[in-house]
Structure 1
C-alpha cells in the first residue's frame, strides 16, 4: 500500500451508496485512483472519513448488515494506455 492510498484491504461495498466499507471509495474511484490529479486525490481523501462514518452509522445495528458486494473485480491483464 502506498502512503497516500486509502485502501485497507477490506473491499466490501455498501449496496445503497456503492462505497467501500473499508476506505469509502466507489469502484470507479478505486480504478481511477492512480490517474487522479493530486488536487482531486486530496479532495477525495478529505471526503472519505465522512463516507465511512456514514456507512457505518446509518442506523443499522450491525455495520455488516444489508446488501453489499464482497469483491473487487480484477483489473484486466492487458495494459491500458
Structure 2
C-alpha cells in the first residue's frame, strides 16, 4: 500500500460509515498480510476482521471501517523505517 492508496481507502471508509445497511466489504483482492503490522496490505483489516466479516452486523462492519480509516490516516500500515514489508520505500 502506498500513501495514495491509503488516502483513497480512508476516504472510502468515511463514505461507508454513513451507510445504514448493506455495508460493503473493504476487500480490494490484494489479500496479503503484512507480517510487521498484522494488517492486510489491501484493506488494512486484521485476520479476525477478515474471517468474521460475513457474520458481522452492519453496525460492527461500520466499526471495522472506522478502524480502517484510522489505520490509513495514521500510516500504521508502514514499517517503522518507512518501508513496506517487501522493502519498498514509501515517500
When you count strand as a share of all residues, which structure comes out higher? 1
1:39-75 per-residue CA deviation (whole Å, 9 max, x = no partner) reads 110011011132243113x433322437xxxxxxxxx
TM-score by length of 1: 0.62
* Corresponding residue for residue 20 of structure 1: 40
* Corresponding residue for residue 8 of structure 1: 28
**CA RMSD of superposed structures (Å):** 2.3
- Give the number of equivalent residue pairs: 64
TM-score by length of 2: 0.56
1:44 aligned residue (50, 56, 64): 64
**Which 4+ residue blocks in structure 1 deviate beyond 3 angstroms?**
none
Cα distance change, pair 16–61 in 1 and its aligned pair in 2 (3 A): closer
Query: Unpaired runs of 5+ in structure 1?
Result: 67-81
Alpha-carbon separation, structure 2, partners of 1:17 and 1:62: 12
Cα distance change, pair 14–33 in 1 and its aligned pair in 2 (3 A): same
* Corresponding residue for residue 77 of structure 1: none
